[in-house]
């Protein structure tokens, strides 16, 4: 698919539309200390993935109920940590371009609804459609969230652009059949340093 054929854009939240990396890392580092696991290993696996799947990988010795409680504890550590949450550079610019072009967009996140609304609200972003981990059965890298968003928008996922900053999210976008735009030096159909570049590309899709 070429950008000129694009019919919708599906954004990840943390590290993509919202600069929440520091908050995420603080929460996981605290959590790792509480559960006696290596924070470096936790951080290498946690970004972009649901808390439940990270807890399952890091604490396989616990039973299912205990791992669920550990995942809940991790989310609790994040709910009130909004001190440095902002819109990512270029976020408002690219959303304005989408509005001008009449292209629908959505946020698809591994966070739950409470955390997603809190972070997006702190950043001043109100998505027309929000798909959280609570709306699906399988989180990233499973494509279910992106497929669900495309379905709700009424757009074939082949004509959607998934914008991500984590490999698990890019894998989900690819599995959904969407075009991908990758931040932070990751590999995608488009490679972006920031969302300003995406806004520029959408303004000039044939170049």
DSSP calls for 41-63: HHHHHHTTS-HHHHHHHH-TTS-
**Model confidence at 207, in pLDDT bands (50, 70, 90)?**
low
Is it the case that residue 132 has pLDDT exceeding 90? yes
Active site annotation includes 14: yes
Give CA separation, 181 vs 43, 52, 71, 184, in Å: 22, 26, 29, 10
Q: Give, as one character, the DSSP assignment of residue 107.
A: E
Which domains does the chain possess?
3-20+85-203 (3.40.50.1000), 21-79 (no CATH)
Q: Let me know if 135 is a catalytic residue.
A: no
**The model's pTM:** 0.86
**Whether 129 contacts 152, CB under 8 Å:** yes
**Structure confidence by residue, pLDDT tens digits, 48-66:** 788 888 999 999 999 989 9
* Percent of the chain with pLDDT strictly greater than 90: 78
Dump pLDDT digits (tens) for 81-129: 888 899 999 999 999 999 999 999 999 999 999 999 999 999 999 999 9
């Amino acid at each position: 698919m070429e950008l000129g054929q694009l019919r919708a854009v599906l954004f990840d939240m943390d590290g993509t539309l919202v600069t929440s990396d520091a908050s995420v890392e603080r929460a996981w580092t605290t959590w790792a200390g509480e559960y006696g696991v290596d924070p470096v290993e936790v951080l290498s696996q946690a970004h972009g993935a649901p808390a439940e799947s990270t807890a399952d990988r890091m604490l396989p010795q616990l039973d299912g109920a205990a791992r669920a409680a550990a995942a809940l504890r991790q989310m609790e550590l994040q709910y009130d940590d909004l001190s440095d949450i902002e819109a990512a550079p270029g976020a408002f610019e690219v959303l304005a371009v989408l509005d001008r072009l009449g292209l629908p967009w959505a946020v698809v996140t591994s966070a739950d609804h409470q955390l997603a609304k809190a972070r997006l609200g702190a950043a001043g972003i109100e998505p027309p459609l929000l798909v959280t981990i609570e709306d699906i059965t399988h989180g990233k890298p499973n494509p279910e969230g992106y497929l669900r968003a495309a379905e709700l928008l009424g757009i074939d996922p082949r004509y959607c652009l998934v914008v991500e900053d984590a490999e698990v999210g890019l894998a989900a976008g690819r599995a959904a059949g969407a075009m991908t735009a990758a931040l932070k030096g990751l590999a995608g159909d488009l490679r972006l340093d920031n969302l300003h570049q995406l806004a520029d590309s959408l303004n000039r899709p044939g170049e």
